[in-house]
Structure 1
């Protein structure tokens, strides 16, 4: 396995941008910019109500406009299409709601002219230490070819309620799931997650086993009382000792797990939900 170490963020003279010197940034901004600049996925961050924009090389390449030079970090003279195409989507993100929008036609530059490209957009509110939304991160990816009508139900995104008390881990797993095309609602505890089960429907509860307060296993038991058809996935750093002899079916992923293991577990659940599991 080849490894390439890179640390793009510290090498940039942020003091010359609208964000100012990096040592004055809040921790949430540092983390988000580091993830953005080190990601192969096109990402763009809107920071603050001034709408300072930070983006990576993958985003600049996707949009194709010659004037775009990562990392940006200034208020743009014209809003990118990812922000101007749907004011309601941006308003909901500022209100604290993560959301995904699949198969939207947005303008990009190709061969010196504007072309329309089908894109999937995933919006994540970035919260500061006071839990206020300080920015919005948008990840983009070209939409896959439209499935045939007969296969449409086979490609429906799964809806997951993700429960993880570690903010960084919660952010990363939610972004990964969105990048895989699924719809995600994050929660930091079992006590926060339970009311969501009565407000909206989910296909999967994906929870850490070790949570402060109510454990992931206790959360799963109470969740099944509210939603008996809910699929259950656990993530644990302690093996399967706590989930091996449960009275209900569930899948367990050992931390750290990789994206292939996560995708395999989701595929198996999706097949079971469609009634096509072997």
Structure 2
């Protein structure tokens, strides 16, 4: 389960000086509540607010939309509709009229490729017409293990709060021919898992906010195809009696140990596919 307290994110977690919305202390209550909900949710989400909508997004959506989308919550966005809104304009119009709506399997094009999502539109402050619309994106169907023809198709999410170690591990994995992304915080890991398909979660056991074990358990509940590899400087003491399969590497580990663990993962995924 999520650790309480420090890992929570709200509007107060961000600098709003670049936003047309200004200081959150002056925001209408419906906007503040909807924004807090969005920022503290691992699903990719957008919030459009006002007659000339200002579009806010959480970090999960920013990771999904790619570097072309503003990293500043509530900052300037292109004049065109964000892709989820453009993909479901009728449902968006219903939400602006105060009616919740959903679209199953909408084709959303982020410019780097088209993916299918279930889109959920919720009106915000709907008395006398919505003041805003909250949009959540969920994968249209559970991601399934993909057949692996080459090791390079194996995608790995590395969760390591030591940035030097994270960089070195990601570079080693890329040198082996794998795809690798690195994050330092469990919240960012959940955002990346929601944004794209990974085969492997390679996580340190000791992390800020929640342990790597809790992160793995939560991730497997959402993405049961994931293979988990733990890295720990404390041996296997914290990994005893886990109720899901995993591999573990004792820090500092050798390159051949890492390659062997990934080779076993590749074999398991091929067998499953």
TM-score by length of 2: 0.47
TM-score by length of 1: 0.46
